[in-house]
Each structure stands twice: as structure tokens, then as C-alpha cells.
């Protein structure tokens, strides 16, 4: 009888266990359904899965998970998701879950990674969501999360498939870590680590990105697609902490961002890879319904020897309004030259100076009223002296020097700008009409400014913003001389910045006299197909010496300066197109008003433009 009792007890136990297991399976499926419905509603996603089962007591296995966020172009696949609950728990509620494991998930992105124009009705709300969403996600995660072998697939701008691989993501309490790899295969795949913390109670997130491989830098995926730039660094750090909203303004305090070993290449920035090194910023940012503002009183940028406090406000009232300002007074001038990024400039590295600078910058532009734009920029020296020149002696134009002409980076001509060159003409040996005509066409205030003409720059800035593209430059004749003598024709920001600095140094320190600069300009610039300098131009177009040029001939030479390589476009056969005559009439009127010519000279000018020399064969062949 005792044996029968034990047998009956065993059978009943097995039945109860089986019923419990079956019941637990039913409960697990119902729980999964509730979770899915809740997540779809809260996160605006569509979730599908193939099956739900108990892997073991306290462990739920979900297979074939597919998640599609609304309007994102993303699709997430997970072959298996394991949810581990406390053994004593039976509801699989948030409090019962102690861990999640996801194996080999895939993310597919079906859209271009290039940014698209997007507006938000409330930037404070959008920014708050951007900060609060990861905090909310972390706050709802269990104590332990592990994702293994995540892959991200997308098409680049050339419609080539790209794939990035994240071997491991782990979350443990307030700490998280991701090990990333830019290619899943390859002899030496580049890997880096993203490590950070989150503090839900204080609204604070910290991030650190760094590489684990020596002699390697972090190269973030997707940056080329967004910025068309190659950006690499040793370590990137970011700290963001939010504070409570006051009057609809979301305020960020005690924020910090920093980078070590930063190197950047972008075709529009420089022809070389720039070495920015290390820098960081402590910032305070205000975000409102329709604006973002960086508070200069609580923001400091630290870069090499420089410390400055920028102000920026972006505000949208129909159209954008941009306000930016910087005032830095009496800082050591040598700190500026010692803080240039490596390989940014070619002629200034190694320069040493003394004295101080004060810099003032202000930009205020409402894109609905561009013509009311305010732009101010000034660098004021005090007791400034050049102690040592850099790679180039900026005084070279004051004496005879050898000039090299480059075409697409290759040297095509080399000649001396001085008396040893039979084609060189000093200022006094050139028709007096030519400098006047050039100043009319290129820079009428050349003898009045110190290298820069603010009114011309303001006008250029307004026209370019209104057009939405670059239409008009603001180069003074001084800037054109410096570009021809010291630099090249690269259309990069680095080249333009070096041009501006060299012009400032030459003009403010009187390294070259104005008349000598104009003399150099007339003897080196391109005036046609392989025609350089005023002597070659005079013989090519008019078969005469520069001293014999008439007023009309000089106006023509000034007219073709901006586009010497497109000479044929100015002619119909041997007859000039109409735009020349508009330029001619304006030039004669201006020169007459300013006293460069007399009335009888103006009335006779147009009659004496007769082309002779090689230009006739060039235009008729």
C-alpha cells in the first residue's frame, strides 16, 4: 500500500508540473502579447514574432522578432531574445525581470544617411525627448542586458551596401559599454569602445569613445555620409545634464565635450588632413520652443593656448535668425599663432610674435530680411611685433623675387619679378591708365584700406545668402596679390584663412608698400592663354609696350582679369560682346568722377581699341 501511495504521489506531481508548465507557457504568451501591445503604442513601432516559449523556469524565449519603427526606414531583426526572470516571480513584470540576452540581431536602414531638412514645432520638446528617451530606456531596462554580434546594414550615397558590426553591447546598472567594429571582416578590422553612465535622478549622461588598438584612431561610421568628411580621433568625451524647465525653456548645465587627437579631412576645408589635436568645451545651453542659445557667460572653449567664450543663438520665427558674437580682449598674440591646427597653413608655421590682440566678431542675420545683416570682424594689435617669420619671409615682395605659376598643382612658369627679367616693368614704366582701370574693376579703395574692405564683404555676404550659393567674392587687390605670390587657387577654407592672415600681417606691419604691391600684381597675373604679366599682355593684344597703352586698351585689360582662361567667351570673332561696353562706360564715368582722366580723354577712349598681335590668330583659328 505504501508503494502505491508513492506512485500515486509521483503521478500527481508530474501532472501538476505538466499543468504548471503548460499554464506557465500560456501565461508567458499572454504576457508577451501585452508587452508587445504596450511597446507598439508607446514607441510607435510594429512588432511581430514567431513563437514564445519557456526555455526553463524563469526564462522566456521569444523567436523570430521583427521590429519596424514608424517613418524611420529602419527594420530590426532578432533571431532569439531570452528574458530571464527571478525564480520566485511568475508575472514576468518589470520588477521580476533580471536580464535580457539578444543574439545576432540585425538592423537594416533603407534610406540615405544624408541629412534632410526637418523642422520641429517645439525645439525644447524635441531636445528634451532626445535627452530623456535614452534615460527612459535605461530606466526600464533590467539590471543586466547583453547583446551579441549586432550588425547594421545600409546603402551609402553611391548605393553601395555597407555593413558595420558591434560584437558586444552590455548594460549593468547605470553603466553601459559597446564594443564596435567598422567591418565584420578584414585582416585588421578597426574596433573601438563606447563606455558611459546614466543617472536618471539627475538627468545626466556621459559618453567616452576610444580605440583599444595602438597606432589606430576611431573613425566613426556614417560620418562620411553625413559630412562628406574623414574624421578620426583618439578619444571623444561628452557629458550632458538637464535641469528642470523654466518658462518653457529647457536648460542644460554643467555640459562638457572634449576630443583628443582629432584629425579631419574635408575637400572644402583643406587639401591636407588637418591635425587639430586636443580641445574641449564647458558649456551652458538654453533650448526654447523656437530657439537654441549658447550662453557665453558660462561657456568656455579650451583649445591649445586659447580660451574664449563664444555666444550663439539660433531662432526660428518663420525664417531663421542667427546671432553669433565673440569678444576676446588683450590675449597674447603668440598664443594665436601657436594654436593653429597642424598642416592648416603652409607659410605661417614657426612664426613668433609679441604683443597682444583684441578680437571682436558679430554676426546678426535674419534670413527673412537678409539686407539688414550686421557683420563686424576686427583684430586689433597692441605693441605687436614679428620676432621670427615662419616658413616664408612675408617681406619677399619688397625686393626682387622669383615667381612660380602653378596650374592644377604643377609649376608651369617661373620668372623673376625684378629688373633681371626683360619682361618686368616698374610702376613708372606702365601707362598711368592701367592702374586706374584695375583699381576701378578690382578694388577702388585699395589705397584707403588695410587689406580688407568691409562694405564689399558685407555686400558679398548678403548676395550669397540671398542666392543660397556662392556668387560674389569680396577679395581686395591685396588679397589677390597674396594669393598669387604666396598661395594657390585651391577653393578651401584653409587657403582663404591663410590669405586673410598674411594680408593682415603685410598691411598692418607695412611689410610691402601699396604701390609695390600693385606693381607686382600687374607683372605676375594671368591675362590670357599662357600670357602672364603686363608686358606679355600688351604685346599679345596690342603689339606694343605697356607704356604705350591707351585708356581704352587699359580698360579692356582690366575687364578680362577675372576670367583670363575664358578669353573666347568675351568675343564674337574679333568683336567684343555687349557686357564689355557696359563695363567700359561705367569705368570711364567712374575714372572721370574721381579725377583720373579729363573730359577729352573720356570722349576719345573707345576709338583706340584695335587688336593686333597674336590675339588675332588665337581668336580666328
Q: Show the cell assigned to 316.
A: 526660428
pLDDT score of 92 more than 60: no
- pLDDT tens across 560-582, in order? 999 898 899 988 888 888 899 89
pLDDT of residue 367: 92
pLDDT of residue 14: 43
Q: Residue 12 phi/psi, 5° resolution? A: -60, -40
pLDDT of residue 504: 96
pLDDT of residue 53: 79
Question: Rounded to an integer, what distance in angstroms lies between the CA atom of residue 77 and that of residue 106?
Answer: 5
Mean of pLDDT values over 222-239: 85
Share of the chain above pLDDT 70, in %: 82
pLDDT score of 19 more than 70: no
What is the separation, in whole angstroms, between the first and last Cα of the chain? 124
pLDDT score of 94 more than 50: no
**Beta-bridge partners for 106:** 77, 151
> What residue ranges of the chain are covered by domains with CATH 1.10.3810.10?
393-620
DSSP H helical ranges for 432-577: 433-442, 454-467, 477-486, 493-508, 514-524, 534-542, 551-559
Q: Show the cell assigned to 194.
A: 563606447
User: What does the mean pLDDT of the chain come to?
Assistant: 84
Provide the phi-psi class of 228: left if phi over 0, else alpha when psi is between -120 and 50, else beta: left
pLDDT of residue 60: 76
Mean of pLDDT values over 242-260: 81
Cβ(64)–Cβ(51) below 8 Å: yes
Which string of DSSP letters, residue by residue, matches 300-346?
A: EEEETTEEE--EEEEEEESEEEEEEEEEEEEEEHHHHHHTSPBTS-S
Sign of the alpha-carbon dihedral angle for 223, 229, 233, 236? negative
For the chain, give percent helix, strand, coil, nearest 5: 35, 35, 30
Residues whose CB falls within 8 Å of the CB of residue 178, separated by 6 or more in sequence, listed in order: 166, 168, 169, 170, 193, 194, 195
**Beta-bridge partners for 275:** 263, 342
Sign of the alpha-carbon dihedral angle for 110, 113, 117, 119? positive
CA distances from 281 to 240, 254, 302, 308, 394 (A): 12, 10, 6, 10, 34
Q: Residue 362 phi/psi, 5° resolution? A: -150, 130
Residues whose CB falls within 8 Å of the CB of residue 267, separated by 6 or more in sequence, listed in order: 228, 492
Cβ(178)–Cβ(193) below 8 Å: yes
pLDDT of residue 31: 63
pLDDT of residue 12: 44
Mean of pLDDT values over 405-429: 92
pLDDT of residue 51: 85
Question: Rounded to an integer, what distance in angstroms lies between the CA atom of residue 432 and that of residue 295?
Answer: 55
Residues whose CB falls within 8 Å of the CB of residue 619, separated by 6 or more in sequence, listed in order: 567, 568, 571, 573, 574
What's the farthest any 2 CA atoms get from each other in the chain?
142
Neighbours of 351 (CB within 10 A): 21
pLDDT of residue 607: 63
Nearest to 194 by CA among 214, 215, 173, 175: 175
- Per-residue pLDDT band for 357 (boundaries 50, 70, 90) equals very high
Q: Which residue has the cell 607659410?
A: 347
208-229 b/e (C-beta count within 10 Å ≥ 16 → b): bbbbeeeeebbbbbeebbeeee
Chain CA centroid to CA 1, Å = 89
What angle in degrees, to the nearest 10, is found between the helix axes of 477-486 and 514-524? 60
pLDDT of residue 545: 96
pTM greater than 0.85 = no
- pLDDT tens across 502-550, in order? 999 999 999 999 999 999 999 999 999 899 999 999 999 999 999 999 9
Collapsed DSSP state (helix, strand, coil) of residue 106: strand
Label the pairing between strands 311-317 and 369-388: unpaired
Question: Rounded to an integer, what distance in angstroms lies between the CA atom of residue 262 and that of residue 576?
Answer: 53
Q: Which residue has the cell 534615460?
A: 135
Q: Show the cell assigned to 551.
A: 585708356
pLDDT score of 182 more than 80: no
- Per-residue pLDDT band for 5 (boundaries 50, 70, 90) equals very low
How many residues would you count in the chain?
Answer: 621
Neighbours of 160 (CB within 10 A): 8
The CATH code of domain 393-620 reads: 1.10.3810.10
Q: Show the cell assigned to 129.
A: 525627448
Label the pairing between strands 575-576 and 571-572: antiparallel
Amino acid at each position: 500500500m505504501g508503494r502505491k501511495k508513492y506512485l500515486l504521489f509521483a503521478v500527481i506531481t508530474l501532472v501538476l508540473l505538466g499543468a504548471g508548465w503548460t499554464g506557465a507557457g500560456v501565461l508567458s504568451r499572454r504576457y508577451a502579447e501585452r508587452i508587445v501591445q504596450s511597446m507598439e503604442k508607446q514607441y510607435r513601432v510594429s512588432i511581430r514574432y514567431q513563437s514564445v516559449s519557456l526555455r526553463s523556469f524563469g526564462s522566456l524565449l521569444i523567436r523570430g522578432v521583427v521590429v519596424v519603427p514608424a517613418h524611420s526606414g529602419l527594420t530590426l531583426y532578432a533571431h532569439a531574445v531570452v528574458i530571464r526572470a527571478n525564480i520566485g516571480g511568475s508575472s514576468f513584470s518589470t520588477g521580476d525581470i533580471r536580464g535580457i540576452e539578444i543574439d545576432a540581431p540585425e538592423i537594416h536602414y533603407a534610406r540615405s544617411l544624408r541629412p534632410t531638412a526637418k523642422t520641429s514645432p517645439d525645439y525644447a520638446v524635441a531636445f528634451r525627448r532626445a535627452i530623456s528617451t535614452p534615460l527612459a530606456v535605461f530606466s526600464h531596462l533590467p539590471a543586466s542586458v547583453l547583446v551579441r554580434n549586432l550588425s547594421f546594414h545600409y546603402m551609402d550615397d553611391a548605393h553601395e551596401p555597407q555593413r558595420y558590426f558591434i560584437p558586444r553591447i552590455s548594460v549593468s546598472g547605470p553603466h553601459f559599454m559597446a564594443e564596435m567594429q567598422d567591418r565584420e571582416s578584414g585582416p585588421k578590422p578597426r574596433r573601438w569602445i563606447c563606455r558611459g553612465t546614466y543617472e536618471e535622478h539627475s538627468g545626466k549622461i556621459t559618453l567616452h569613445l576610444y580605440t583599444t588598438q595602438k597606432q589606430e584612431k576611431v573613425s566613426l561610421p556614417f560620418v562620411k555620409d553625413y559630412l562628406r568628411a574623414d574624421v578620426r580621433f583618439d578619444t571623444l568625451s561628452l557629458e550632458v545634464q538637464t535641469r528642470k524647465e523654466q518658462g518653457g525653456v529647457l536648460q542644460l548645465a554643467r555640459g562638457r565635450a572634449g576630443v583628443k587627437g582629432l584629425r579631419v579631412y574635408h575637400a572644402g576645408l583643406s587639401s591636407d588632413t588637418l591635425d587639430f589635436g586636443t580641445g574641449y568645451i564647458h558649456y551652458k545651453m538654453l533650448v526654447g520652443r523656437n530657439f537654441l542659445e549658447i550662453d557665453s557667460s558660462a561657456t568656455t572653449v579650451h583649445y591649445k593656448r586659447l580660451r574664449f567664450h563664444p555666444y550663439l543663438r539660433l531662432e526660428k520665427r518663420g525664417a531663421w535668425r542667427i546671432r553669433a558674437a565673440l569678444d576676446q580682449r588683450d590675449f597674447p598674440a603668440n598664443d594665436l599663432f601657436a594654436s593653429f591646427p597642424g598642416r592648416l597653413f603652409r607659410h605661417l608655421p614657426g612664426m613668433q610674435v609679441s604683443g597682444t590682440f583684441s578680437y571682436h566678431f558679430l554676426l546678426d542675420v535674419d534670413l527673412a530680411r537678409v539686407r539688414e545683416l550686421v557683420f563686424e570682424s576686427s583684430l586689433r594689435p597692441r605693441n605687436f611685433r614679428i620676432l621670427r617669420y615662419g616658413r616664408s619671409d612675408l617681406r619677399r615682395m619688397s625686393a626682387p623675387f622669383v615667381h612660380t605659376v602653378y596650374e592644377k598643382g604643377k609649376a608651369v612658369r617661373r620668372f623673376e619679378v625684378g629688373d633681371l627679367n626683360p619682361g618686368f616693368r616698374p610702376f613708372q614704366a606702365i601707362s598711368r591708365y592701367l592702374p586706374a582701370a584695375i583699381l576701378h574693376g578690382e578694388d577702388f579703395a585699395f589705397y584707403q584700406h588695410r587689406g580688407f574692405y568691409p562694405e564689399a564683404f558685407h555686400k558679398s555676404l548678403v548676395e550669397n545668402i540671398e542666392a543660397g550659393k556662392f556668387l560674389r567674392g569680396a577679395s581686395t587687390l591685396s588679397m589677390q596679390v597674396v594669393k598669387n605670390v604666396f598661395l594657390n587657387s585651391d577653393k578651401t577654407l584653409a587657403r582663404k584663412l591663410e590669405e586673410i592672415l598674411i594680408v593682415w600681417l603685410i598691411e598692418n606691419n607695412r611689410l610691402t608698400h601699396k604701390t609695390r604691391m600693385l606693381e607686382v600684381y600687374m607683372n605676375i597675373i594671368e591675362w590670357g592663354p599662357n600670357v602672364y604679366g603686363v608686358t606679355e599682355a600688351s604685346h599679345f593684344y596690342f603689339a606694343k609696350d605697356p607704356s604705350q597703352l591707351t585708356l581704352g586698351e587699359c580698360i579692356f585689360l582690366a575687364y578680362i582679369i577675372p576670367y583670363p582662361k575664358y578669353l573666347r567667351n568675351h568675343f564674337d570673332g574679333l568683336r567684343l560682346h555687349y557686357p564689355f561696353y557696359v563695363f567700359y562706360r561705367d569705368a570711364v564715368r567712374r575714372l572721370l568722377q574721381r579725377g583720373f582722366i579729363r573730359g577729352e580723354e573720356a570722349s576719345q577712349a573707345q576709338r583706340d581699341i584695335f587688336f593686333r598681335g597674336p590675339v588675332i590668330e588665337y581668336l580666328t583659328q
